[in-house]
Amino acid sequence: MRKICIVAFDFGGENLNLQPWRYLIEMMQIIPDNEIIIITNYDKIDTEYVYRFKIKKNIQIHPFKTKALRETIEQINPDIIFWWCSRKTFLFKSLFKKLKIPIKLFYTGPIYKVTEVISVIKFLSLKIIMPYLLEALVPIKLLSQFINSDLVRDITIMTEANQNRLEIAGVRKKKLIKIVQGFSGNSETIKYKINQTNQILFMGRASKIRGIEFLLKSYAQLSKDIPSNLVILARSATDKQVSHLLELAYQYGLKNNVIKILGGWLSRDDLELHISQSSFLVQPFLLIPSETPISILESMSYGKPVIAPNLGGIPELLRHTGLVYKHNDPNDLVRVMREIILNKNLYFRLSENCKQYIEHYPSWGKLTVEIQKSFN
């Protein structure tokens, strides 16, 4: 039995249901006959959710304060290290040299250009975008050189978008391993329902980067001449947040009969009901924490096309199953929503493509051999 040590920043708490931590958990849970130990700086861990893993929590993960991290790894004495990577991971170079253990990196977020991050400053506060901006300001060439060094065995990425950007930055192809986000939808049991009621759906967390306010502004413009209604499932939103969004909707001239905003947590049955009653999903991300948003795959599993920005790995997901608009361009979002509502032939084709796409999309179980091979 091999020991796999995973170094994952902020692994714990509510994050375990989010990307990239969810990707990591699901990937590790299908690797049999391995002892998996996760090192995290977090101190709150839901042990039931990660019962298969041993957790070393509250360990500082900092490139210039590595003593505790190094001692913990040496105590574990793993056969291989799986390290959650960012552009700044090259700063751990001296630690990697001392460890002398094979290290695999995994990179699950988008590799942003500085211009992509700066463009959202008119919609988000500087405080929100600062972590993304600091990441984007690090020259990708530094990460590329680090990946190509003998210190790194390879790097796992999720999408063609990241693969292309790393190759352009100079990463050797043999160092790149693409493993997509697995998805086990209910494709065998769901009754697909093509809905022509022009009900538009948003579902996701109520965080600013999800672009709910951006969507409200665009929808207010669309609703002036296109009969439709908008349902916003703002997961985990408090009553105060819902009231703020409703007030904003009213300021844009939207009435109760065309907009519905729900916060808190919905049951699976309620969620499925709202999806099945909708025509299509809009995910107006201003920034995305993960290259493959699960909500897009969920929507497609019901035969519902998706509209989202041309950001990260989204365009390759929606190549035949939805429409993309120019990132942070509310007028272009209005254009594509109008197009999918008015062009029924387009809508039916995209809906059918969604069903076909999900039926052939790999579940985590189907990715088992591929994942095991990457660790051999």
Q: How far apart, in Å, are the Cα atoms of 203 and each of 147, 212, 271, 371?
A: 36, 9, 9, 30
**CATH top-level class of 2-182+364-375:** alpha beta
Within the chain, which residue ranges are assigned CATH 3.40.50.2000? 2-182+364-375, 199-360
Q: Quote the mean pLDDT of the chain.
A: 90
User: pLDDT tens digits, residue range 189-239?
Assistant: 445 555 567 899 999 988 899 999 999 999 999 999 999 999 999 988 899
* Higher per-residue confidence, 78 vs 365: 78
User: pLDDT tens digits, residue range 125-165?
Assistant: 999 999 999 999 999 999 999 999 999 999 999 999 999 99
Residue 311 has pLDDT above 50, yes or no: yes
Among 49-53, 69-73, 274-278, 302-306, the least confident range: 49-53
Q: Does domain 199-360 have CATH number 3.40.50.2000?
A: yes
Give the pLDDT band of residue 49 (cuts 50, 70, 90): low
Contact 165, 136 (CB under 8 A): no
Residue 188 has pLDDT above 70, yes or no: no
pLDDT attached to residue 47? 65
pLDDT attached to residue 109? 87
User: pLDDT tens digits, residue range 103-133?
Assistant: 999 998 889 999 999 999 999 999 999 999 9
Once rounded to an integer, what is the mean pLDDT over residues 333-359?
A: 94
User: pLDDT tens digits, residue range 60-90?
Assistant: 999 999 999 999 999 999 999 999 999 999 9
Dig out the tokens for 109 from the structure: 């977020």
pLDDT attached to residue 210? 94
Percent of the chain with pLDDT over 70: 96
pLDDT attached to residue 196? 60
